[in-house]
Amino acid sequence: MLQTGFVPLDVLFERGPVSFAFNFGRYVLAAGLVALVVLLMARSHLAGRRIQSRVATWADRRREVLLSMQAVAVYAVVGVFIFWGVKEGVLQRVNVAYSWPAYLGLAAAMIVAHDAYFYWVHRAMHHPKLFKVFHRAHHRSVTPTPWAAYSFAIPESLVMALFVPLWLLFIPTPGSVILAWLMFQIFRNAMGHAGFELHPRWWLSSALTRWINTTTHHDLHHSGGFNRNYGLYFTWWDKWMGTEHPRYAATFAEVTSRNSDPSPSDPAKAPSLAPSRLA
Ligand SMILES: [Zn+2]
Ligand SMILES: [Zn+2]
C-alpha cells in the first residue's frame, strides 16, 4: 500500500478504491434495473407511458454515465473523509445500535431531511449566478434516462455529497441506516429520471400517495418546467413554496391514461419540450 505520511492522502489511497466500487456499484444496480424496467415497458402495452415525444439518444446516455462516474469519484473521496471524520471523532459515530422503531424513525428522518436539503440546494443552484457552474451539466439531459441519476458536474456532486457529513455532525446514525438511505436515494433518483411514468394511474388521487413524487414530476423539471418541481422525494416543498408545475397533475393524468400508442394522443397537450430555454 502506497504510504505518503500525509494522513488524508494515505486514507484516500487505502479506502478510495473500495469507496468508488461501492458507490459505482449502487449506481449501476439502480440505474440498470430501472433501465431494464423501462425497456420492458417500451415493448409492452405500457409503451404509451413514455413521458416525452423526444427520445434520448445514445450520446445522451454516454454523457450521463460518464458524468455519473465523475460524481461517484467525488462521492468516493467524500466517503473516505466521512470514514476518517468518524474515526477521529469529528463526526458522530456510525457503530451505534438502537431499537428497531428507532432505526425506522431515523431512516425516515434522514429521508425527510434530505428532501428539504435537496429542494433548497437544487433551487439555489438554479440561481443565474450559480447555474452554469453547478447545475448546467445535469440539465443537458432534456429527456433524462435512468443513467442521469448522478449526472452532475463536480461542484454539484460535492454539494450532493455534503448531506451525509452535515447529518453526521449532529446525529449518531448506524451504518446500516446510512446504507439503506443510500440505496433508497439512488433508486428513487433513477426512477425520477426513468422517462416513463412508473407510478400507477391512481397515484395522485389517493391521499396515501399523492405527496410522493412521480417520474412525471421530475421529468417536467427537465423538459421545460425548468423553474418548477425542484423536489426529490415529496411534493411538499414545491407545494409550500408555490413552485409546483401548474400542469403536473394534468400531465400525469394524460401520460397514465395513454394506451399502447407510444406517440402522445394529443400533441398539443404533450409535455414535449424544446430545449430552447437551456440552450
Ligand atoms: Zn434542476
Ligand atoms: Zn434530474
> pLDDT tens for residues 242-271?
999 999 999 999 999 986 554 444 444 444
Q: What is the pTM of this model?
A: 0.89
Number of H helices and E strands in the chain, helices first, is 10, 0
Residue in 241, 147, 135, 152 with CA at minimum distance from that of residue 192: 147
Whether pLDDT at 38 is above 80: yes
Comparing 5 with 130, which gets the higher pLDDT?
130
Cα(42)–Cα(97) distance, integer angstroms: 44
Residues paired with 196 in a beta bridge? 50
| Mean of per-residue pLDDT scores for the chain | 91
Q: How far is the CA of 275 from the centre of ligand 1 (A)?
A: 13
Measured in Å, residue 2 CA sits from the centre of ligand 1 at 40
- Looking at per-residue pLDDT, the higher value among 5 and 213 belongs to 213
| Ligand (nearest to CA of 134) | 1
Cβ atoms of residues 192 and 217 within 8 Å: yes
- Residue 260: the pLDDT is 59
Which helix (H) or strand (E) segment is 191 a member of? Answer: helix 175-192
Strand partners, 212: 234
| Cα 137 to averaged position of ligand 1 atoms, centre (Å) | 10
Instruction: Please tell me the distance between residue 144's alpha carbon and the centre of ligand 2 in angstroms.
Output: 7
User: How far, in Å, from the CA of 261 to the mean position of ligand 2?
Assistant: 26
